[in-house]
């Protein structure tokens, strides 16, 4: 046998290995093939190919493994059980950039499914290797490493802490400044995943100087980047007042408001979330947002969007109105504001959005009679009552609508809006409705006339109250405002009394 023939055998073997690995990788990119591949035992075949001498075979084998692990959790567990990870981590330090990209892809695919798998990835010492990858020059390698780190940090606080302890944060902040868009996106998403768990982690990210760079990217035209940037900023600002103030000091307002009308739906949602997280902390921050014209923008956003994405906008309006009476008035004054929320309450089928709208309306209306009037005029009260008494309403919705009703009723003296409540309300609410009437009627003759003509007096007479209770006193106060004949006329059983008198009457002659 000549040398050439011997070498040909090896060449053929190498070629077949290469084709096998490439075909498997290609097949694994389609989800319907993966089950078949797994059943055929692709995992166990690919594993020794990771140690192949030919680098391209190694890379493609890693790529194929990554695609397999990406598909579902069982395959990822199989990857972990087959002890592939330590080998990957070891070679991550040595090999060239294509291998690094593929290996990072495998790590990311394994870590994304569950905290347990992510923990096993961390236990193999992947973090240090990934952080070293972040220092590379090639943007593709950095992107893959940042993606893997983001997926690891996503699950819970401990994993995020371990990512931070590995020293990833300053490198991620450097990655954000790179010119490549995809790298920026991934690093912003990784930072957002780190920040969301606890204030200390968010503080670490802020200390690395992330806010300035994130703020610079706010006006970037790329929609996906903006999604991640706003998500990161909102995760930072949600934890504490100081962090929110630091985010605001980066001068994102009013530039951020233009993104409320962005073409991408998720950008809008994330901006609304960011504004909500900032507004909820203190009255000063809310004042800042209101002064920048944020309320009008959010109102328009709530009006135009549908479904779950409305929720952060509604909650933001509630938070702003909750802080102080001035801010609630500012919210009312942004035209068609209250009607917008009332419409939300009516339209949305989901209970939690209705609950949020009810809560926000309660916060707006609870400060002074002016506010309560503005809310009541939008015909909100019967709707809130309906939400409270509806049989299929969730408990959260019932509690929130009851509280909102009580908040508004405490201050509402606009009698026209209270009329419908007289007829439908349950007794504990009815007591306060009647109480409010008893406060206003003694002083206002026009209201008294309206009260009689609209049937309110009749309804009040029909209410049964125990003597000595507050309701009884209110009813007495109301009855004292009217002449006796009218009160007697409307009292129940008066028609029977009159008829009895008719029966007993003896006509003269």
Partner 1 sequence: MASHIRLQGRLNEIMTTVFQRNSVAEEKRSAENQAAVTIQAWFRAVRVQNYICHLHQSATLIQKHWRGHQGRRVYRILIRNLVFVMRHNYFNAMATKIQKMWRGFYVRKYVFDYYSRKQYLEGLIVKNEIIRREIKESREQKDADSLRKMELEAQRKLEDYAAKHRYLLSTEVVPGIYNSPFKPYPDEMEFVLRKVKPHPPEKAKPKRDNRSGKIIADSPPLPLTEPLPPIGQKLQGPFRAPGEVQMQRFKPFQPTLRVATSYTATEEARAAMKAKEWVMRVNDNIFEPFSQRDRKYEPLLHTTSNYGHLQYGTRFFRETAESKNISHEVSSLDVWNMFELRLVELYFDLELASVENCAET
List the one residue out of 187, 261, 260 whose CA is nearest residue 217. Answer: 187
In the complex with partner 1, which residue's Cβ is closer, 97 or 459? 97
SS (H, E, C) 40-53: CCHHHHHHHHCCCC
Contacting residue, 260, 361, 471, 475, with partner 1 by CB under 8 A: 260
How many other CB atoms are found less than 10 A from the CB of residue 194?
31
The whole-angstrom separation of Cα 200 and Cα 12 is 57
- CA angle, 252 as apex, 361 and 224 as ends, to 5°? 90
Residues between 422 and 481 that touch partner 1 (CB under 8 A): 428
Does residue number 133 form part of the binding site for partner 1 (CB under 8 A)?
no
Q: Is 140 among the residues that bind partner 1 (CB under 8 A)? A: yes
Nearer to partner 1 by C-beta: 139 or 456? 139
- The per-residue DSSP string of 236-273 comes to HHTS-HHHHHHHHHT--TTHHHHGGG-SSHHHHHHHHH
**CA–CA dist 27, 30 (Å, integer):** 6
Residues 142-181 that bind partner 1 (CB under 8 A): none
Residue 374 CB, shortest distance to partner 1, in Å, is: 13
Minimum separation from the CB atom of position 334 to partner 1 (A): 5
Site map (CB under 8 A) of partner 1, residues 299-318, x = contact: -x------------------
CA end-to-end span of the chain: 149
Closer residue to partner 1 (CB): 91 or 192: 91
Q: Which of 45, 82, 288, 296 binds partner 1 (CB under 8 A)?
A: 296
Residue nearer to partner 1 on the CB measure, 150 or 294: 294
Shortest Cβ 140–partner 1 spacing (Å): 7
Nearer to partner 1, 16 or 258 (CB): 258
Judged on CB neighbours under 10 Å (0-12, 13-18, 19+), 118 is: buried
Which residues are CB-contacts of 409 (< 8 A; sequence separation ≥ 6)? Answer: 372, 381, 418, 421, 429, 432, 433, 436
Residue nearer to partner 1 on the CB measure, 305 or 407: 407
* Residue from the set 17, 390, 403, 472 that interacts with partner 1 by CB under 8 A: 403
Shortest distance, position 326 Cβ to partner 1, whole Å:
7
Rounded Cα gap, residues 217 and 229, in angstroms = 7
Output the CA–CA distances (angstroms, integers) from residue 191 to 19, 36, 134, 177, 399, in the order listed: 39, 37, 14, 13, 37
Choose the stretch contacting partner 1; rule: CB under 8 A; options: 121-129, 143-151, 287-295, 383-391. 287-295
What is the closest distance, in whole angstroms, from the C-beta atom of residue 195 to partner 1 in the complex?
Answer: 28
- 3-state secondary structure at position 114: coil
Report, in Å, the least distance between residue 297 CB and partner 1: 6
Binding partner 1 by CB under 8 A: which of 34, 243, 330, 434?
Answer: 330
Residues 6+ apart with CB under 8 A from 15: none
- Candidates 204, 407, 436, 461; binder of partner 1 (CB under 8 A) is 407
Q: Is 284 in the site for partner 1 (CB under 8 A)?
A: no
**How long, in residues, is the chain?**
509
**What's the gap between Cα 327 and its chain centre?**
23
Minimum Å gap between C-beta 149 and partner 1 is 19
Angle, vertex CA 172, rays to CA 170 and CA 173, nearest 5: 65
Q: How far is the CB of 274 from partner 1 (least distance, A)?
A: 16
Question: By CB under 8 A, is residue 23 in contact with partner 1?
Answer: no
Can residue 54 be called a binding residue for partner 1 (CB under 8 A)? no
Stretch that binds partner 1, among 5-13, 119-127, 199-207, 286-294 (CB under 8 A): 286-294
- For the bound state, the minimum distance from the C-beta of residue 435 to partner 1, rounded and expressed in Å, comes to 11
Please tell me whether residue 406 binds partner 1 under the rule CB under 8 A.
Answer: yes
With 0-12 / 13-18 / 19 or more C-beta atoms within 10 angstroms meaning exposed / middle / buried, residue 398 is middle
Residue 219 DSSP class: G
272 binds partner 1 (CB under 8 A): no
CB neighbours of residue 399 within 10 Å: 15
127 touching partner 1, by CB under 8 A: no
Sequence-ordered list of residues with C-beta below 8 angstroms from that of 410, at least 6 positions apart, any chain = 366, 372, 432
- Spatial distance between the Cα atoms of 266 and 90, rounded to a whole number of angstroms: 39
Q: Which is nearer to partner 1, 165 or 284 (CB)?
A: 284
The yes or no reply on residue 3 touching partner 1 (CB under 8 A) is: no
Binding characters for partner 1, 215-254, by CB under 8 A (x = yes): ---------------------------------------x
> Which of 22, 56, 410, 477 is close enough to bind partner 1 by CB under 8 A?
410
Q: Using the rule CB under 8 A, which residue among 335, 423, 439, 449 binds partner 1?
A: 335
Number of residues near partner 1 (by CB under 8 A): 37
Query: By the 8 A CB rule, do 145 and 184 touch?
Result: no
- Of the ranges 23-31, 184-192, 240-248, 290-298, which one interacts with partner 1 (CB under 8 A)? 290-298
Q: How many CB atoms lie within 10 A of CB 446?
A: 8
Give residues in contact with partner 1 (CB under 8 A). Answer: 96-97, 136-141, 254, 257-258, 260-263, 290-297, 300, 326, 329-330, 333-335, 366, 399, 403, 406-407, 410, 428
């Amino acid at each position: 046998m000549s040398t050439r023939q011997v070498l040909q055998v090896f060449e053929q073997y190498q070629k077949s290995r290469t084709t096998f690995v490439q075909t498997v990788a290609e097949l694994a990119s389609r989800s319907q093939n993966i089950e078949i591949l797994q059943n055929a035992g692709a995992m166990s075949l690919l594993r020794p190919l990771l140690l192949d001498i030919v680098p391209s075979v190694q890379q493609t084998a890693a790529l194929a493994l990554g695609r397999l692990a990406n598909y579902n959790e069982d395959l990822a567990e199989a990857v972990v059980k087959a002890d592939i990870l330590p080998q990957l981590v070891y070679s991550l330090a040595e090999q060239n950039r294509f291998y690094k990209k593929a290996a990072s892809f495998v790590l990311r695919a394994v870590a994304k499914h569950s905290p347990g798998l992510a923990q096993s990835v961390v236990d193999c010492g992947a973090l240090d290797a990934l952080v070293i990858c972040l220092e590379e020059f090639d943007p593709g390698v950095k992107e893959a490493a940042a993606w893997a780190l983001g997926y690891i940090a996503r699950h819970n606080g401990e994993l995020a802490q371990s990512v931070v302890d590995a020293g990833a944060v300053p490198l991620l902040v450097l990655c954000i400044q790179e010119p490549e868009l995809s790298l920026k996106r991934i690093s912003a998403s990784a930072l957002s995943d780190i920040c969301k768990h606890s204030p200390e982690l968010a503080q670490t990210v802020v200390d690395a100087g992330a806010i300035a760079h994130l703020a610079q990217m706010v006006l970037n035209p790329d929609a996906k980047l903006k999604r991640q940037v706003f998500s990161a900023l909102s995760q930072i600002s949600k934890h504490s007042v100081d962090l929110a103030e630091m985010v605001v000091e980066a001068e994102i307002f009013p530039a951020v408001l233009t993104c409320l009308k962005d073409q991408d739906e998720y950008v809008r949602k994330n901006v609304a979330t960011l504004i909500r997280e900032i507004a909820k902390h203190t009255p000063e921050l809310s004042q800042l947002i209101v002064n920048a014209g944020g309320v009008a923008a959010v109102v328009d956003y709530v009006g135009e969007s549908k479904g779950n994405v409305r929720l952060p906008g509604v909650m933001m309006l509630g938070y702003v109105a909750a802080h102080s009476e001035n801010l609630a008035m500012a919210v009312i004054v942004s035209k068609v504001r209250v009607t917008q929320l009332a419409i939300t309450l009516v339209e949305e089928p989901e209970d939690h959005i209705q609950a949020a709208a009810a809560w926000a309306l309660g916060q707006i209306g609870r400060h002074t009679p002016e506010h309560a009037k503005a809310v009541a005029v939008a015909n909100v009260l019967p709707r809130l009552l309906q939400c409270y008494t509806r049989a299929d309403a969730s408990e959260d919705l019932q509690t929130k609508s009851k509280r909102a009703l009580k908040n508004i009723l405490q201050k509402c003296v606009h009698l026209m809006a209270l009329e419908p409540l007289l007829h439908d309300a349950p007794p504990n609410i009815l007591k306060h409705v009647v109480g409010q009437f008893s406060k206003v009627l003694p002083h206002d003759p026009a209201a008294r006339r309206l009260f009689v003509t609209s049937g309110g007096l009749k309804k009040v007479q029909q209410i049964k109250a125990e003597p000595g209770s507050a309701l009884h006193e209110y009813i007495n106060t109301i009855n004292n405002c009217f002449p006796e004949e009218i009160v007697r006329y409307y009292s129940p059983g008066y028609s029977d009394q009159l008829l009895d008198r008719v029966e007993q009457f003896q006509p003269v002659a």
